[in-house]
């Protein structure tokens, strides 16, 4: 790994100043960034740790739903979101393994926007709002493709606000070697309709499955999906699963998520 200068500010304002330096990069839990740096796929000259910023920690109910601080580790979300948004807690408690969940954070996950990460599906299916140190971004505008988001250089995700659905569930088909989702589906039923977000499958990252949303908004049952199919043309294909396999998984897992949501 190439060396770098390390900074650990205690406020968002100080972090933003540190990130203005040439070659600076934010570090949250580091569970993706550190392995990436070991492979020299990333070589920041300044690393700005966000883990010491208290105002970016914790889970609480607030205006617009459940507020999750961006530097809150998965294990804490799994515990503290349980009473308010159990599907979100389930998702957080199933990411990686316990040691990854001690360190990895929601802000790091969605800033990276790995196409197989779990959190983007929850953010998109919930119609959450991504709060940064500069603005608020709707989930539908935030995710923009593989490892690509609406974030500008130096912009810091500070929290995510989740509207709480009437019913929701996340079901993933694990890729056991990486512990990422081979395919994962988050279904959220609101009074205004159903949102379905799929991770791991699409070749352009997390996406909403519009046909399923329409069918489930009319009839929230797994059988409502029976006439639908997913086009393999937009799916990832690798040695772990073909595009056709993933397309089928999207439908199967959506049905399971609907059943699990009850």
Partner 1 sequence: MTKVSMTVNGKAVSGEVEGRTLLSSFLREGLGLTGTHVGCDTSQCGACVVHVDGKPVKSCTVFAADVAGASVRTIEGMANPDGSLSVIQQAFQDHHGLQCGFCTPGMVMSTAALLAENPKPTEAEVRHYLDGNICRCTGYHNIVKAVMAASGQDVSALAAE
Q: Point out which residues bind partner 1 (CB under 8 A).
A: 1-6, 8, 27, 30-31, 34-35, 37-38, 47, 49, 51, 73, 75, 96-100, 102-103, 177, 179
- Cα separations (Å) of 13 from 132, 154, 159? 12, 11, 15
d(CA 28, CA 54) in angstroms, rounded, equals 13
On whether the CB atoms of residues 23 and 64 are closer than 8 A, the answer is no
- Residue 141 CA to residue 198 CA, distance in Å, equals 16
Q: How many CA atoms lie within 13 A of 168 on its CB side?
A: 31
**94 vs 255, which CB is nearer to partner 1?**
94
Nearest distance, CB of residue 80 and partner 1, angstroms: 14
Q: Give whichever of 42 and 228 is closer to partner 1, judged by the CB atom.
A: 42
Give the residue with the Cβ less far from partner 1, 117 or 161: 117
Smallest distance from the beta carbon of 127 to partner 1, in angstroms?
31
Measured from the CB atom, the residue of 162 and 180 that comes closer to partner 1 is: 180
Contact 175, 181 (CB under 8 A): yes
Which of 7/257 has CB closer to partner 1? 7
Rounded to a whole number of angstroms, the minimum distance from the CB of residue 1 to partner 1 is 5
Residue in 31, 24, 23 with CA at minimum distance from that of residue 7: 24
Least distance from partner 1 to the Cβ atom of residue 96, Å: 7
The least distance separating partner 1 from the CB of residue 58, rounded to whole angstroms, comes to 15
């Amino acid at each position: 790994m190439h060396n770098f200068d390390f900074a650990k500010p205690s406020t968002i304002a100080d972090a933003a100043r540190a990130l203005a330096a040439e070659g600076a990069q934010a570090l949250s839990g580091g569970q993706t960034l550190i392995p990436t740096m070991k492979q020299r796929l990333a070589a920041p000259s300044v690393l700005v740790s966000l883990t010491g910023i208290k105002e970016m920690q914790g889970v609480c109910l607030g205006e617009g739903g459940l507020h999750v601080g961006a530097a809150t580790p998965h294990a804490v979300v799994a515990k503290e979101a349980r009473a308010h948004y159990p599907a979100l807690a389930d998702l957080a408690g199933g990411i990686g393994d316990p040691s990854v969940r001690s360190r990895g954070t929601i802000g790091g996950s969605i800033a990276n926007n790995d196409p197989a990460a779990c959190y983007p599906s929850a953010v998109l299916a919930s119609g959450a709002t991504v709060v940064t140190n500069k603005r608020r971004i709707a989930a539908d505008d935030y995710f923009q493709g593989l490892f690509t988001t609406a974030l500008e250089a130096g912009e810091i995700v500070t929290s995510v606000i989740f509207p709480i659905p009437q019913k929701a569930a996340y079901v993933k088909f694990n890729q056991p070697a990486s512990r990422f989702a081979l395919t994962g589906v988050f279904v959220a039923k609101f009074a205004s309709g159903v949102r379905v977000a799929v991770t791991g499958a699409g070749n352009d990252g997390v996406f909403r499955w519009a046909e399923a949303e329409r069918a489930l908004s009319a009839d929230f049952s797994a059988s409502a999906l029976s006439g639908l199919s997913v086009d393999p043309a937009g799916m990832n294909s690798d040695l772990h699963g073909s595009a056709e396999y993933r397309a089928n998984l999207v439908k199967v897992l959506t049905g399971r998520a609907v059943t699990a949501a009850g």
